[in-house]
Amino acid sequence: MKKIIKLIKFIEKEKRLPHYREVLQGLGIKREIMPLPIFIQLEPTTRCNLNCVMCTRSKMNPSRLNQDLSLEKFKHILREIPTVKKIKLQGMGEPLLTRDLWKITQYGILKKKKFTTIINGTLVNKENVDLILKNFVEVTISLDTANPENYLQIRRMNFFNKVVENLKLLVQRKKELKLNTRIFINSVISHLNYKEIDALIELAKNCGVNGIGFVEVENWKTPLERDYEEERKFVQQARQFSEEIQRKILLKKGIESLEIGFLSSEKRKLKCRWPFDSCFITVDGFVTPCCIRANPEVFNFGNIFETPFKEIWNGEKYQKFRETMIKNLPNPICDNCPD
């Protein structure tokens, strides 16, 4: 028994096992109070300079557009979640447009927090490149094509050459500054670009990034939202090529020195850890299950600027939500993820 107690304490403290909470449950350990997360995704802004074809930002409530997270509100979030060690700045806007971005990251670094981000790559320049590399331990550029014409079709803006130049600038300055910042490309794969996997890998190698990750396009809407069917049809059209996409990527992973990742729709259907390990916080403070189900008007657990986070995290609504995940009960928010 002493050994079991010691094991439980180690698992809870270290959190090294990918499904440590499931291990505890398997041992018959039930917790009424969940430990606060050590990782969160935080939306720093809802402003964006692109209008991507697969993005649902254009269908957001206009009252939620063009908002920025302030330094004071960020400080409040850290006070509410003192356990957090790593923060991913990502959401429905372009992080580099955040007015208080460098104040936020520099304050967080003083508090021993680490930051990662996903940006569209259009706003990197000689004035901010060093700040980006010094403030983030990992920077991912969203780039879904190696072709300027396809870029225009997908992103609806003609910034392809600029993004490639900015990728090379990031890699060059990283070497000159002798920093360990990891730089990646993230590509959302659909019927619009599934034939470009080889070209994207070649582009990533030429730019000198650490790696490239491919993600199958997914529906960010739930059946509760009016545009769900429209989004679902787009995703189903893209999924016709899933097997070919996976085959190509697996072949490349075996021969390339570049880090290559692939997150398919099937993997999303495995047991989700988000409700237990992390959360997504919108620019206006709403706590939602994850970055995919991030629309607070459809579903949220509460607002961190109005209710103490401990009460939200361990509240009845969150606990019942977790129970549906553990027991595989019907859940209208997640049942259709990622369809």
**177 belongs to a structural domain:** yes
Q: Are residues 4 and 107 in the same domain?
A: no
pLDDT digits (tens, 9 = 90+) for 143-171: 999 999 999 988 889 999 999 999 999 99
Residue 184 pairs in a beta bridge with 140, 211
More confident site: 190 or 187: 187
pLDDT band at 222 (very low <50, low <70, confident <90, very high): very low
Residue 336 lies in a domain: no
What does the pLDDT read at residue 242?
Answer: 61
- Of the pLDDT bands very low, low, confident and very high (cuts 50, 70, 90), residue 17 is very low
Residue 211 located in a structural domain: yes
Q: Report the alpha-carbon distance of residue 31 to residue 34 in Å, rounded.
A: 6
Predicted confidence band at 193 (pLDDT cuts at 50, 70, 90)?
A: confident
Q: Answer with the residue of higher pLDDT: 2 or 258.
A: 258
Asked whether residue 59 falls in the same domain as residue 71, the answer is yes
* Predicted pLDDT of residue 270: 52
* Burial status of residue 9 (CB atoms within 10 A of its CB: 0-12, 13-18, 19 or more): exposed
pLDDT digits (tens, 9 = 90+) for 249-299: 666 665 566 888 876 655 454 567 889 999 999 999 999 999 888 888 889
Q: Is residue 143 a contact partner of residue 121, using CB atoms and an 8 Å limit?
A: yes
CA 81/CA 74 separation, integer angstroms: 11
pLDDT in tens, 99-113: 999 999 999 999 999
pLDDT band at residue 321 using 50, 70 and 90 as cut-offs:
very high
Does one domain contain both 25 and 64?
no
Question: Could you give the 3-state DSSP secondary structure of residue 73?
Answer: helix
Domain that holds residue 196: 34-326
Write the single-letter amino acid at 190.
S
Give yes or no: residues 21 and 117 share one domain. no
Task: Provide mean pLDDT across the span 161-184.
Answer: 98
**Residue 132 belongs to some domain of the structure:** yes
207 and 319 share one domain: yes
In DSSP terms, 259 is beta-bridged to: 211
Q: What is the pLDDT of residue 148?
A: 96
Residue 111 has a CB neighbour count (10 Å cut-off) of 12
Highest mean pLDDT among 3-7, 58-62, 89-93, 273-277: 89-93
* pLDDT value at residue 151: 94
Same domain assignment for residues 50 and 102: yes
pLDDT over 90 for what percent of the chain? Answer: 55
The CATH number of the domain holding residue 146 is 3.20.20.70
CA distance linking residue 37 with residue 31, whole number of Å:
15
pLDDT-derived band at 64 (thresholds 50, 70, 90) equals: confident
The pLDDT, as a whole number, for residue 247 is: 67
Same domain? For 56 and 190 the reply is yes
* Burial class for 137, CB neighbours closer than 10 Å (0-12, 13-18, 19+): middle
297 contacts: CB under 8 Å, gap ≥ 6: 61, 64
pLDDT higher for 226 or 298? 298
Q: Is the pLDDT of residue 98 over 50?
A: yes
Q: Do 131 and 272 share a structural domain?
A: yes
Residues 177 and 263 in one domain: yes
Report the pLDDT averaged over residues 203-209: 95
Residue 164 lies in a domain: yes
Confidence of residue 54 (pLDDT cuts 50, 70, 90): confident
Q: How far apart are CA 16 and CA 31, in angstroms?
A: 19
pLDDT classification of 328: cutoffs 50, 70, 90:
confident
Q: What confidence score (pLDDT) does residue 182 get?
A: 98
| pTM of the full structure | 0.83
3-state secondary structure of 23: helix
Look at residue 32 in the predicted model and tell me its pLDDT: 62
Total domains, the chain: 2
Assess whether 64 and 197 both reside in one domain.
Answer: yes
Residue 214 lies in a domain: yes
As a whole number, the mean pLDDT across the chain is 83
Task: Evaluate whether residue 337 is within a structural domain.
Answer: no
| 61 and 3 both lie in a single domain | no
Residues 26 and 91 in one domain: no
What pLDDT does 228 receive?
46
Residue 121 pLDDT > 50: yes
pLDDT at 115: 99
Choose the weakest-confidence range: 130-139, 179-188, 259-268: 259-268
